[in-house]
Structure 1
Amino acid sequence: MNGDGDHELGHVACVRCSKPARLQCPKCLELKLPRVNASFCSQECFKESWSSHKLVHTSLSHKETGELNGVQDPHAAALAQGWMYCLRKGQSRSPQLPTFDWTGPLRAYPISPRRLVPDQIPRPDWASTGRPHQEISSEWQNSVEIKSPAQIAKLRETCRVGREILDLAARAIKPGVTTDEIDRIVHEATIAAGGYPSPLNYHFFPKSCCTSVNEIICHGIPDARPLEDGDIVNVDVTVYLNGCHGDLNETFFVGKVDKASENLVRSTYECLEKAIALVKPGVRYREVGEVISRHASLNGLSVVKSYCGHGIGELFHCAPNIPHYARNKAVGVMKAGQVFTIEPMINAGIWKDRMWPDGWTAVTADGKRSAQFEHTLLVTETGVEVLTARLPTSPDVFPWLTR
């Protein structure tokens, strides 16, 4: 649930730790600033946040309307609501746009306060601490788990719910919709299904899904920027339900896109399809990167090397790692009962990436566009089951599937 100045203070999350907040900065009260980003659960959190929080008092006031020369400015409008720019991998906020040599047309926008999760929803350990301690210390970081039939049954259900939630997000995408609104849809749908949005507070990630627009490769943070006609946007959804995670993403067109963007998105989709067709017992993990790179190169595109597919189940990320590029050094072969993701990130220009000041948003080094598709896959005795496969009810958003 989004907090704003009209909510009771007890329904607003602490700026620092995201626990229910009962205290508010006295200076913010004096200036009549919004309660969001000014509320704290304890004096200790208030003191720890003071160095960054005090900047709010000099940059925001209750008189700000978000209109510049009669035109609504998304940055100013968001700041006026108490939204702020994300820094330090989600652990800090600032009312000032960070200084950065942006590689393309996109800029960071303010983000809304953290959405709350009802107490009755089962959650992973990082929901409260920001650190996935169980995941980090697990034996499955160094060996690949063979899932039991009971685990697989739970994963099927979780992945189906994840697919339904991504489909809801896809239906909302159009010019003028903010990525924050997409995040709200994903968050509320996940809660309604009894699940926890896995990205939320994972290593302090501030939102419930990732939205990566245009030159953003992955881990884009949903914010106040309205989508524009001609954009492409990847929505990455992971749901924690039944004690396990289901992970998938797709890249969507916003309005009418140019031919180059259509080729990029379609070729990326094909890269994943060709990789999935390879999956069966006995295949080496390294071969996935070979088939993806071959198809990307034939279409004049490049493959990102900094991020890879991963094992998944009761842990969000674990062994095996699945590189998407050619001549990688991944060790091991696929076996029945393994579950992992394949999620190629394909760039229109060079493969290299840069990181925005928020510590999460990875963008192309040359500012050209990037696309991605992802599925969670089960290796079967005879091949592969796509646990996050499109459903008969999935929206017809990809022209090459309906022609």
Structure 2
Amino acid sequence: MIEILNPAELARARGAGTLVATILQTLRTRSTVGTNLLDIDQWAQAMIVDAGAQSCYVDYAPAFGRGPFGHYICTAVNDAVLHGKPRDYRLADGDLLTLDLAVSLDGIAADSAISFVVGGTQPAESLAMIETTERALRAGIAAARPGARIGDISHAIGAVLSAAGYPINTEFGGHGIGSTMHQDPHVPNTGRPGRGFTLRPGLLLALEPWVMVDTAELVTDADGWTLRSATGCRTAHSEHTIAITDGEPEILTLPTPA
């Protein structure tokens, strides 16, 4: 299903995007050395409930997962990159943490992810990888103009990731979003320009470049959800929900300046 939102629905999408961005930035501030991943999940739950929103994750049960996800946020540490199921783990100095959050507010969903290094130890390789995913995300957003195609976005993202030397996995990528979290079209993190669905105003997309240092192969944790790099290398993931407009794309999950 591909949804095209009307102006009233787009206004509600802005509210959902602002909420997601606010929660993620609050959790980033709270995620320090010694913080338990289960506490992050509880904080996310409290902020979602207080806002009158609904989690897109807690009852999420797609074919690739093992039963309902059962948590309110994805917390991926170091070699974990996607669908990181919160567990009893306390963050250590130098850990690379990815927080991925999707909520629905007033019937419209928004989805975003941030990666950052915890504590005072900031490994250069990890920082470079995070910066590359952020730069690839900006490139993908810049390509998201009305009349362009999904392949144009994928090509823009993939060009940045490939130039930095990272292998690219195309099994998981960006996606359409609207009244539900995951919709068509699929937005791979590399592709051929001029191919795929034609972008039009009112379309919402969640773009999410993610990479692993030295592999494109994923393995699934024993929890049935958490996806890790096959080699144990570190990973990074950046994501925004955007709206296609008559001109430049609108980033719905951009943090509000302090």
Note whether the superposition's TM-score is higher than 0.5.
yes
| Unpaired segments ≥5 residues, structure 1 | 1-139, 394-403
Match of 2:46 in 1: 188
CA distance in 2, matches of 1:315, 1:233: 26
Match of 1:353 in 2: 218
- Secondary structure of the corresponding residue to residue 255 of structure 2: coil
Q: Structure 1 residues 350 and 329, CA, compared in 2 at 3 Å: closer, same or farther?
A: farther
Q: Per-residue displacement from partner, 1:153-204 (whole Å, max 9, x unpaired)?
A: 1111111111111111111111111111111111101111111121112110
Alignment partner, residue 12 of structure 2: 154
Rate the CA distance shift 1:329–1:177 in 2: closer, same or farther, 3 A. farther
Equivalent position of 2:136 in the other structure: 271
- Residue 239 of structure 1 corresponds to 103
- 8 Å Cα contact 2:148-2:194 kept in structure 1: no
Matched to 1:253, the amino acid is V
Q: Name the Cα RMSD after superposition.
A: 1.4
Query: SS where residue 351 of structure 1 aligns?
Result: coil
Shift of 1:326: 3.2
The correspondence for 1:176, drawn from 17, 34, 49, is 34
Matched residue, 1:343: 208
Tell me by how many angstroms 1:331 deviates.
Answer: 2.1
Distance 1:330 1:205, change over 3 A: farther
Code of the aligned partner of 1:285: I
1:205 corresponds to which of 61, 69, 72: 69
Between the aligned partners of 2:145 and 2:191, the Cα distance in structure 1 is: 19
**Alignment deviations for residues 264-304 of structure 1 (CA, whole Å, 9 cap, x no partner):** 11111111011111110111101222222221122222222
Equivalent residue letter for 1:184: Q
Whether 1:163 and 2:28 are equivalent positions in the alignment is no
What is the distance in 2 between the residues matched to 1:293 and 1:284? 15
Distance 1:198 1:252 in 2: 23
Cα gap change, 1:328/1:219 in structure 2, threshold over 3 Å: closer, same or farther? Answer: farther
Distance between the aligned counterparts of 1:217 and 1:388, measured in 2?
20
Alpha-carbon offset, residue 329 of structure 1: 10
Q: Size of the alignment, in residue pairs?
A: 251
Q: Distance in 2 between matches of 1:366 and 1:282?
A: 40
The 8 Å contact of residues 293 and 302 in structure 1, kept in 2 or not, is answered as no
Deviations 1:136-165 (A, max 9, x none): xxxx2xxx2221111101111111111111
Confirm or deny: 8 A CA contact 2:149 2:193 kept in the other structure: no
Question: Would you say 1:380 and 2:245 are equivalent positions?
Answer: yes
State whether residues 214 and 232 of structure 1, in contact with CA within 8 Å, keep that contact through their aligned partners in structure 2.
yes
- In 2, the alpha carbon distance for the partners of 1:257 and 1:310 equals 31
- Counterpart Cα distance in 2 of 1:237 and 1:260: 25
Q: Residues 86-141 of structure 1, C-alpha deviation per residue, up to 9 Å, x if partnerless?
A: xxxxxxxxxxxxxxxxxxxxxxxxxxxxxxxxxxxxxxxxxxxxxxxxxxxxxx2x
| Contact 2:149-2:194 at 8 Å conserved across structures | no
Counterpart selection for 1:292 from 151, 154, 157: 157
Q: Secondary structure at the match of 2:185?
A: strand
Structure 1 distance, partners of 2:189, 2:158, is 7
- TM-score, normalization by structure 2: 0.93
